[in-house]
């Protein structure tokens, strides 16, 4: 029986464990905090639960148009209840995951793991696991490193849990900030900026670039900036934060160009660093790459036989869905099953702002630069019948296809619950379907998904000369 040790119980680790157990392996997961890892306990699940509360408020802004009288001035937020729900759901999800992996026969150890091979190059590896009961050395035929990542800390802005915060410390606040400065305009920064904006907090986004979401679709980012502007949120552009200082009333953010932004609280969202230190990589001959990430190939192999890595510690699209797939692929490959290498161009991703921004496949930037030839269409949701009924004026559906064949190669959706609407486009990209396939598929009328089939119809070519 193949002995497998998994270092980390997040999405990469527990999904890998389920695959390995179902294929008859002897599996042990070592996790420091609890099953689900940081994703479930501190990051993805808590943040999206928090965002769900802000989403309920976001829906109220335009209810007057639908004939429903509301007074936003009388709306209040019970922050301890919101945070209690966030923490409760995270723990419940962690417990569900633990129960599932244990039903499959996986051994779960709560502790810390590190390699303890006597020398590099051994066929069988050893992992030392330190728990509250002591240290145990586990022999392993296969090891999966799935240790995740933690929030990056700027030397001049070390979180204190009171006024200078990382995104894991927000849920300890007893009341909403008077003025929240969000430092960083990537996905995490944009999501929390959007959530607090909808909760009525004064928000300033400090962006080192010329827009929010610099790595996302530019048209989508423009929609979000329009919403921010309407709600009173400020975006400080080309503003690189040097340091954050505590003051009597809050914080001062000192920018590289000499500007100073005052706020009651500062939220640091400046990326993540991999948890690859102090896990004994030198004992097995693995040298981390730039930034401390572990280099892997498309089936999650490291440079050392028998050792795989998956998830945020590899720096390969730091998404829970990608981590899970990397972990599954690692186990299928290690146990001799047929497996297709991961295809990053088929990954669907979502930014959980209000509205949401979902993408898959080739980007608009790659098309505009001439890197990828494609025919494109962009349909505003304002022309969609269901959107009109619901009072939706912002958002759109984009679809990209190959010029000659019509094969769908990518798309963007900006809408409430875009994370759900992106699936048919992701299916098309994954399975190399054409715009004709979309065009001939029945969609419900009226529905927001009808814009996807309409985009397919508008991209169809009706002559054979192209």
Q: Rounded distance, CA 404 to CA 11, Å?
A: 39
Using one digit for the tens of pLDDT, what is the confidence trace for 88-136? 999 999 999 999 999 999 999 999 999 998 887 778 999 999 999 999 9
Q: Rounded distance, CA 194 to CA 51, Å?
A: 8
Q: What pLDDT sits at residue 464?
A: 44
Using one digit for the tens of pLDDT, what is the confidence trace for 144-169? 999 999 999 999 999 999 999 999 99
Nearest to 28 by CA among 122, 111, 120: 111
Q: Looking up tokens 């397919």, which residue turns up?
A: 456
What does pLDDT average to over the chain?
95
Using one digit for the tens of pLDDT, what is the confidence trace for 243-264? 999 999 999 999 999 999 999 9
Q: How confident is the model at residue 74 (pLDDT cuts 50, 70, 90)?
A: low
Q: How confident is the model at residue 70 (pLDDT cuts 50, 70, 90)?
A: confident
pLDDT exceeds cutoff 60 at 12: yes
Q: How confident is the model at residue 304 (pLDDT cuts 50, 70, 90)?
A: very high
Q: What pLDDT sits at residue 463?
A: 52
Q: What pLDDT sits at residue 118?
A: 82
Using one digit for the tens of pLDDT, what is the confidence trace for 166-210? 999 999 999 999 999 999 999 999 999 999 999 999 999 999 999
- Asked if 315 contacts 2 with a C-beta cutoff of 8 angstroms, the reply is no
Q: How far is CA 147 from the centre of its chain?
A: 16
Using one digit for the tens of pLDDT, what is the confidence trace for 225-239? 999 999 999 999 999
- Asked if 362 contacts 346 with a C-beta cutoff of 8 angstroms, the reply is no
Judged by DSSP in three states, 54 sits in helix
Q: Rounded distance, CA 214 to CA 204, Å?
A: 17
**Count of alpha carbons within 13 Å of 353, Cβ hemisphere only?**
30
Q: How long a stretch of residues is the chain?
A: 466
Q: What pLDDT sits at residue 465?
A: 43
Using one digit for the tens of pLDDT, what is the confidence trace for 345-403? 999 999 999 999 999 999 999 999 999 999 999 999 999 999 999 999 999 999 999 99
DSSP category for residue 294: P
């Amino acid at each position: 029986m193949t002995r497998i040790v998994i270092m980390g119980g997040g999405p990469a680790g527990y999904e890998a464990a389920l695959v390995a157990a179902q294929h008859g392996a002897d599996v042990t997961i070592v996790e420091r905090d609890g099953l689900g890892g940081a994703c479930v306990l501190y990051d993805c699940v808590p943040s999206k639960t928090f965002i769900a509360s802000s989403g309920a408020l976001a829906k109220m802004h335009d209810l007057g148009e639908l004939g429903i009288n509301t007074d936003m001035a009388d709306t209040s937020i019970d922050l301890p209840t919101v945070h209690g729900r966030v923490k409760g759901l995270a723990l419940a999800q962690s417990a569900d995951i633990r129960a599932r992996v244990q039903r499959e026969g996986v051994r779960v150890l709560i502790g810390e793991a590190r390699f303890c091979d006597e020398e590099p190059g051994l066929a069988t590896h050893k992992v030392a696991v330190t728990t509250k009961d002591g240290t145990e050395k586990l022999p392993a035929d296969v090891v999966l490193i799935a240790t995740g990542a933690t929030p990056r800390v700027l030397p001049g802005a070390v979180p204190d849990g009171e006024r200078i915060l990382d995104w894991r410390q927000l849920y300890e606040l007893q009341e909403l900030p008077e003025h929240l400065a969000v430092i960083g305009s990537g996905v995490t920064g944009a999501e929390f900026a959007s959530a607090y904006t909808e909760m009525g907090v004064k928000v300033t986004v400090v962006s080192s670039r010329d827009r929010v979401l610099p790595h996302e679709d530019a048209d989508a980012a423009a929609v979000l900036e329009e919403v921010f502007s309407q709600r009173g949120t400020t975006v400080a552009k080309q503003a690189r934060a040097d340091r954050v200082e505590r003051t009597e009333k809050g914080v001062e953010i000192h920018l590289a160009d000499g500007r100073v932004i005052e706020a009651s609280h500062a939220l640091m969202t400046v990326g993540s660093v991999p948890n690859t230190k102090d896990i004994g990589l030198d004992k097995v001959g693995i040298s981390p790459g730039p930034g401390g990430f572990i280099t892997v190939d498309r089936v999650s192999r490291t440079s050392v036989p028998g050792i795989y890595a998956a998830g945020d510690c590899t720096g390969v699209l730091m998404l829970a869905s990608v981590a899970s797939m990397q972990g599954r692929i690692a186990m299928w490959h290690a146990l001799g099953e047929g497996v297709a290498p991961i295809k990053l161009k088929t990954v669907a991703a979502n930014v959980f702002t209000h509205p949401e921004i979902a993408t898959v496949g080739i980007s608009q930037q790659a098309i505009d630069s001439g890197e990828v030839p494609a025919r494109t269409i962009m349909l505003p949701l304002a022309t969609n019948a269901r959107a009109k009924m619901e009072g939706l004026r912002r958002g759109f559906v984009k679809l990209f296809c190959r010029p000659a064949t019509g094969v769908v190669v990518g798309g963007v959706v900006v809408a409430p619950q875009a994370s759900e609407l992106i699936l048919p486009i992701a299916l098309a990209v994954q399975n190399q379907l054409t715009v004709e396939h979309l065009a001939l598929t029945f969609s419900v009328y009226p529905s927001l998904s009808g814009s996807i089939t309409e985009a397919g119809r508008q991209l169809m070519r009706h002559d054979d000369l192209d």
